[in-house]
Structure 1
Amino acid sequence: MCPTPAPAGRHWDGSPRVTHRPRPLRVTATSPSRLLRAGQHGRCRHCGNRIDLYPRTDQRPIALHPTELTAAHVPESCRWHLSGGIAHPHGDGSAWCRIPHAVLCPRRTPTCRPSPCLEALRRQLAVRTRRLTDTGAFTPALPSSGGAPAADADGPDHPVVQMLLCRYLAERPVEGLRCVAQTRHRHHCANPVLATTSPAGTWRLLPTGPQRGQLALPDTLMAVYDLGHLPYSEQLRWRAQHCPAHAAAPGVADLALAGWQPFDALLHAAHIHTRLPQPPARRHGRG
C-alpha cells in the first residue's frame, strides 16, 4: 500500500497550513520622530538610574523618568507629556504625566519644590545608586573643570557645525559622528556620517553673532564646520545623522537620538574656538 502524500499547503490530516509572513515595520515619512522605543533607554551619568530620552519641539533632547506619575503629585511646572514621540513641557489634561529625571536625580539639586511622593521616589533612586556603586556596576561621572578645552590638531571635541541655516553643537568630533539608523539585522549602524564618497564640509572662521536676541560681539570669530555649501539633501542627511546608505532609505528607523544641540553662544561658550584646527602633519618617508 503506497502512502498518499499530503497536498501542498495542507498538513498530513488535510487541515490547511497557515503561514505567517513577517510584516516589515517602517516609520512613516510624516512621523515627527523616527526614534524607536528600543533606542530611548539610557542611564544617567550622574546617578546611574534608567532614563528615557526624547526630543523636544526645539530638537533638544530631554531625559524623562521612565514611568508615569500621578499628575496631582507633580508640580505643574514639572509636568511633561508625550505626543508623537515628542516631549512637551506641560500636562495633557489626563491624570498622569511624565517628569524630568533632573527633578528626581539624587546627585542633583531639585529644580522645583518636590512633594512628599517625589521625595520618597528620590530616596529610592538614591538607594539604587548606592547599590550600583557598591557592586561596581556604576561609576559616577567626574565633574567637569569648567574651563575651555584646548583645540587639538584634529579638531575640537565638540565642534560647532553650520547646516540648514542653523548652528549646532556636536556631541563628538566630526570624524567620530556615527550613524544612528537601524540596520536590517536590527543593530546600530556602525558607519560614520562623514563618508569618503560624499562631499565634506569646510572649516571656516565665522562671527559668533547674536543668538535669539542675545548680545554678542560681532567681531568675535570662531571655528565652524560649515556645511552650507552642500546640497540641501546632503545637509538633511547630516542633520538626521545618517550615513549615505541609510539616507537613501526613507522608511529607516533610528536607534539613538541625533547628537545635535542648537548652538547657544552663552551656554556653549566653553566650546568656542578662535583658531581653525590644524590638519595632521604628514610624515615624509626616507627616499
Structure 2
Amino acid sequence: MPEHFNWDGSPKDERLAGFSPARNMWLHKSNRSTSLPGNNLVRCRYCGLRMQYFDRWDHGRIPMVPKMLPSAAVPVPMRWNVMSGIALPGDDGAGRCFVPHPAFCPAVKHENADLRLAEARAVFRRRMERRIAEEGFIPDLPPAGEEDVAEQHIEPVEGRRHIVAYARLLWLAPGRIDTIQCVALARTTGERCKNTISQDEGVWEEVEIPYPPGRAGQQVLWAGTTMWAYALHALHTDEFNRWMRQRCMQHAPGGNAAPDAVSSQWVRFDALRHEEFILRERPANAQQVLLDRRLDRIATGPERTECATSDCRNGTVSKVPKGWACWKCARTVKRRTRTHRKWISGDRQDEQ
C-alpha cells in the first residue's frame, strides 16, 4: 500500500480525498469473461444515456441498461441474465432481468410497438432531451437500426476486413486475417498486446452469400452468389474460442487471467450492412487445398441429408429418397392434407 494511504485504501491527507491507490486488477478464475466491469460502463453516443456491455454466450457483445427490471414488465424475448460475466437469454427464474439498451434507446426508430415498452421508452426520451438541453450533449447522427447502437464498441478500421467462416456461422473480422491484434492487457508493458492471433490455421474457401432476411433479401441481386471467406472448420472448440476472444497463443483463454485492454471486435456478418467487405475475387494467398491436413485424422462420418422444407434445418444420416421431409414437417403436411380433404368433401356435399 502506498505511503499516502491507510491499509484500507483511505487517504491519509484530506487533499487526496476522492483518489485511491493504484491497484492491480485480476480476474477471478471462475469468471468466464475477460473484460473488466469498469471498462464496460459507457454512455451511448446516440442518446447520451449509460449502458453496460457484457460478453454474450455466442461470442458477441451486448449493451444492457445498467439497472435490472422486474421480469413481468419486460417481454420474454428481451429478458437477459448474467452468469459468471456472460449474458444469457432469459431471466433464469429470478423475477428480475437485464434488458438490452438498443431496445429502449430513444434515438432508434423501433419497429416493435409493444405497449409495455412505450412508457419506459418515453422515460428514456425525456432523459435524452434533458441531457441535450441542460448538459449540452450533442448526439451522433441517428443510427440505421438497433445493430448500430449495439456495435458502438467496435473501433474504426481502415481498409479491408475479412470474413471468417466456422461451421455455418459467418463473422466479420476486425481487419485482415494477418493483422488481427490480440486484445489482452500485457502485464510486462501495461498496454495492449501487440501479437497477432493468426497461426495460419485456416484456409480460404468459396462460400455462398446468405440471403438477408425480410423483403430486403428479395430485392438484392447478389444474394445466392458466392464470396471468399477464411474457413476455420478444422479448429477444435478451444482454438476457435481463442479466435473469438481475439487472443494470441500467449494469452489464450483458460491459461492466462489477463484482462482485456479493449473489447474483442468481432461482429456477426450481415450481407446488407457489410456488403462493402464481401470478397468476390480469389485472394492472392489462397492455398490450393480443399481442407486442412488435420481433417485427414478426423472422422467426418456419413453424409447428412437436410429436410426438403425450405425453412427447416432438421436432417438425417440415413439413406432417404429425394425430397425427404423430417417427421415434424411430414406430420404438418399430413395434417394440412387431411384438413384440405375435409374442406373439399364439405364443399361437394353442399353442392349436392
Q: Secondary structure at the match of 1:171?
A: coil
- Give me the whole-angstrom Cα distance separating, in 1, the residues matched to 2:279 and 2:125: 39
Structure 1 position 261 matched with structure 2 position 264 = no
Which residues of structure 2 form unaligned runs of 5+? 1-6, 8-22, 145-157, 212-216, 286-352
Query: Is 1:207–1:218's contact at 8 Å kept on the other side of the alignment?
Result: no
User: CA shift at 1:232, angstroms?
Assistant: 7.8
Q: 2:230 aligns with which of 225, 229, 240?
A: 225
1:83-134 CA-partner distances (Å, limit 9, x unpaired): 22222332233343221111221210233432434422332134325556x3
- Give me the whole-angstrom Cα distance separating, in 1, the residues matched to 2:189 and 2:67: 25
The one-letter amino acid of 1:79's match is R
User: CA shift at 1:159, angstroms?
Assistant: 1.7
1:11 matched residue in structure 2: none
Q: Secondary structure at the match of 2:244?
A: helix
- Give me the whole-angstrom Cα distance separating, in 2, the residues matched to 1:97 and 1:57: 16
Q: 1:246 aligns with which of 248, 251, 272?
A: 251
Q: Secondary structure at the match of 2:251?
A: helix
- Give me the whole-angstrom Cα distance separating, in 1, the residues matched to 2:237 and 2:92: 36
Matched positions, count: 243
More helix by share: 2
- Give me the whole-angstrom Cα distance separating, in 2, the residues matched to 1:131 and 1:208: 51
- Give me the whole-angstrom Cα distance separating, in 1, the residues matched to 2:52 and 2:65: 6
Structure 1 position 189 matched with structure 2 position 192 = yes
Quick one: percent identity of the two aligned structures? 26
Q: 1:275 aligns with which of 264, 281, 284?
A: 281
1:10 matched residue in structure 2: none
Structure 1 position 116 matched with structure 2 position 119 = yes
2:26 matched residue in structure 1: 25
2:131 matched residue in structure 1: 128
RMSD: 4.4
- Give me the whole-angstrom Cα distance separating, in 1, the residues matched to 2:132 and 2:179: 31
TM-score (norm 2): 0.53
User: CA shift at 1:27, angstroms?
Assistant: 3.9
- Give me the whole-angstrom Cα distance separating, in 2, the residues matched to 1:89 and 1:220: 33
Shift of the 209–120 alpha-carbon distance from structure 1 to 2, 3 Å rule, reads: closer
The one-letter amino acid of 1:189's match is R
The one-letter amino acid of 2:89's match is P
Structure 1 position 161 matched with structure 2 position 164 = yes
The one-letter amino acid of 2:35's match is L
Query: Is 1:77–1:90's contact at 8 Å kept on the other side of the alignment?
Result: yes
Q: Secondary structure at the match of 1:224?
A: strand
1:101 matched residue in structure 2: 101
Query: Is 1:43–1:49's contact at 8 Å kept on the other side of the alignment?
Result: yes
User: CA shift at 1:167, angstroms?
Assistant: 3.4
The one-letter amino acid of 2:84's match is G
2:65 matched residue in structure 1: 65
Shift of the 165–247 alpha-carbon distance from structure 1 to 2, 3 Å rule, reads: farther
Which residues of structure 1 form unaligned runs of 5+? 1-17, 145-154, 280-287
Query: Is 1:156–1:277's contact at 8 Å kept on the other side of the alignment?
Result: no
The one-letter amino acid of 1:179's match is C
